[in-house]
Amino acid sequence: MIEKAKAFAAKAHQGQKRKNSSEDYVVHPIRVADLLKQAGFREVLICAGYLHDVVEDTSYTLKDIEREFGRDIRDLVAAHTEDKSKSWQERKQHTINTVREASLELKALIIADKLDNLRSLQQDIETYGNEVWKNFNAGPDAQRWYNQSIAAVMTNGLNPEEVPDYFCEYKHFVEQTFD
CB 52 within 8 A of CB 80: yes
Distance CA 141, CA 36 (A): 29
**56 tagged catalytic:** yes
Q: Which of 23, 35, 50, 38 has the alpha carbon at shortest distance from 121?
A: 23
Looking at 34, 57, 66, 68, which residue is catalytic? 57
Cα–Cα distance between 39 and 111 in angstroms, integer?
12
Among candidate residues 24, 43, 56, 66, the one labeled active-site is 56
Residue 24 DSSP SS3: strand
Interacting residues of 59 by C-beta distance below 8 A, sequence separation 6+: none
Rounded-to-integer distance, Cα 100 and Cα 145, Å: 15
**Catalytically active residues, by annotation:** 56-57
